[in-house]
Structure 1
Amino acid sequence: MSSILPVPDKQTILTRLSEGSYDAFLYDCDGTLADNMGAHKASYSAAATMCGFELDDAIIDELAGWPIIQVAEEIRKRYNGNFDPAAFAQLKNKLYESNFINETKPIEFVVAHLKAHVGKVRIAVVSGGSRPSVSKTLQLLGISKLVEVLVCAGETPRGKPYPDPFLSAAEKLGVDPTKCLVFEDGTPGVQAAEAAGMRWIRIDHA
C-alpha cells in the first residue's frame, strides 16, 4: 500500500488512506514525523570530514531507516574507509545532538495525524536512530507523551529493512502485526513493514 501525498490538505488525505480496522499506528521518526533529514545529512558529512573524506550525502536518503551503526559500516565499505564504524556512529550522534538537533521541525500533517488518533489506536514510534536522539526529537515535536512504545536502533537483533523493529513494537503494544499500519518515508522502512506482514503508507512531504 503506497501513496504520494502532494495535495493541499495532506492530513485529510492521510486520514482517509489510514482508515480501516487497525489496532496500532507505527510511525517512523526522522523524515516521517520530523523534518530533520537535512540535519542528519549535515552531521554525517561533518563526521566524514573529521575522518578525512568527503561524503556524498545521497547515501543517507538511500539507507533511510537503517540503524546508524549499519549506515557507518556501509559508508566505510563504499569509501574503503579506515575508521571504526562504532566510533564514526558515536561521532555522528554527538555532532547531531550538539549542533543540529534543534533545527528539527515537525512534518505538520503527519504529526497532526498522530495527535488525532491518540486514544483511537495504539501509537508507537519505530526508528533507526538512537534512543536519546529520537526521544529528544519527539520532545521537540511535542509528542513524546503521546507515544506508548518507542523502538530504536540496537534494541532488536536486526534493524530495518528486517522486520524485527516493527514486530518488537507490535509485541510491546500487545497488538497483532497484521493489525498494524506503518508510516514510513524510506525504502528500508517499507521493506521492514512488508516483511513484518504490516500494511504501510509511504510519506512524501516534498
Structure 2
Amino acid sequence: MTKKQGVLKCSLSFLAPLEAILFDIDGTICDSDPLHYYAFRDMLQEVGFNGGVPITEEFFIKTISGKHNVNLATILFPDWEPQRSQKFLEDKEAYFRRLASEQLQPMNGLHKLCKWVEEQGLRRAAVTSAPRSNVELLIPMLGLSDFFETIVIGSDCERVKPFPDPYLKALQALQVSHKHTFVFEDSVSGIKAGVAAGMPVVGLAKRNPEKLLAAAGASFVIDDFDDPKLWGVLEDLQRKPEVTTAT
C-alpha cells in the first residue's frame, strides 16, 4: 500500500459536520513523556524501587504512561502508606515541572493544527490526567492560554481515564455531540477513555508503540501533527457535501 493510499483509507468523514476536537495534554500536545520518564527513573531509583535498578522506557510505557497518580500509587507502591506514596508522587511532579520549564517542546505541527482548528471555528477542550499545577505550567508554555475553551482535570471527575467521565464532562462543557467530535490521545488509557465516551480517537505514536494504541481502539495512528495521514483526513472533513436540486 502506498503512502497516498494509506492516507485515503483513513477517514473521519462520518463526523461531518465536525463540531469539536478534544485534546489530551501530556504526550499529545507536547512531547513530555521523556521528561516524566526521567523524573520517575531518577526518583524510583532513589527509593530503591526494583532493587535500585533504574526502570526502563519499556517499563514506563507499559506500567506508568497515561495513568493517573491515584492509580499509580497502588501500582508502584502497594505496601506503602498512602501518605508516603502521595508525597513521592507530588515530589515527582515537582521534579517534572523543573525539567519541563527548561526542556518542554510542543508536539511537531501543533501550532499548524491549532490554527486550522481556529479557522474552522471548531470548539476545543483539553482533557488530562495531569495535576492542575502541571497544566498551569504547560498550557502557557505552549502558547495555548487562549486556545482551549475549557480544561478538564481528571481528578475533578468521579472516575479518571480509562473511564469515559473526563471526556463526557468535556462534551457537556462545550455542549457538543460525541457524534461530531473526535479525540487526540497518546496513551492506552486515554484512548480507551475516548472510545468509551463514544468518540473516534486519533492516536499519537511519538513515544508509545503504534500496535498498543491500535489495540486500545484508536481509529488510526499518526506520528505527530505534521503527519500527512492526518492532513488527508482533515482535508476530507473540510469538503462540503454536494447539494442536489430536485427537478
2:58 maps to a residue whose letter is A
> Stretches of 4+ moved more than 4 A in 1?
16-19, 80-83
Number of positions where the alignment pairs a residue of Structure 1 with one of Structure 2: 192
* Cα distance change of structure 1 residues 122 and 109 upon mapping to structure 2, 3 Å threshold: same
Question: SS where residue 98 of structure 2 aligns?
Answer: helix
TM-score (norm 2): 0.69
What is the Cα deviation at residue 81 of structure 1?
5.7
What is the Cα deviation at residue 200 of structure 1?
1.2
What is the Cα deviation at residue 108 of structure 1?
2.1
Contact 1:67 1:159 in 2 (8 A): yes
Q: Following superposition of structure 1 onto structure 2, how do residues 28-107 of structure 1 map, counting pairs within 5 Å? A: 28-53=24-49, 54-62=54-62, 63-77=64-78, 84-107=84-107
**CA deviation profile, 1:139-171 (whole Å, cap 9, x unmatched):** 111112101111123111111110011011111
| Distance in 1 between residues matched to 2:191 and 2:74, nearest whole Å | 21
The answer for unaligned runs of 5 or more in structure 1 is 1-6, 8-12
**1:112 equivalent in structure 2:** 112
| Distance in 2 between residues matched to 1:58 and 1:115, nearest whole Å | 34
* Cα distance change of structure 1 residues 146 and 139 upon mapping to structure 2, 3 Å threshold: same
What is the Cα deviation at residue 30 of structure 1?
1.1
Question: SS where residue 108 of structure 1 aligns?
Answer: coil
**1:199 equivalent in structure 2:** 200
* Cα distance change of structure 1 residues 17 and 29 upon mapping to structure 2, 3 Å threshold: farther
What is the Cα deviation at residue 64 of structure 1?
2.8
| Distance in 1 between residues matched to 2:59 and 2:81, nearest whole Å | 18
Identity over aligned pairs, percent? 24
The answer for unaligned runs of 5 or more in structure 2 is 207-222, 224-247
Deviates more, 1:163-172 or 1:66-75: 66-75
Report 1 or 2 for greater relative contact order, CA contacts < 8 Å, sequence distance ≥ 6.
Answer: 1
Deviates more, 1:56-65 or 1:175-184: 56-65
* Cα distance change of structure 1 residues 30 and 103 upon mapping to structure 2, 3 Å threshold: same
Deviates more, 1:112-121 or 1:132-141: 112-121
**1:27 equivalent in structure 2:** 23
| Distance in 1 between residues matched to 2:188 and 2:135, nearest whole Å | 19
Contact 2:154 2:161 in 1 (8 A): no
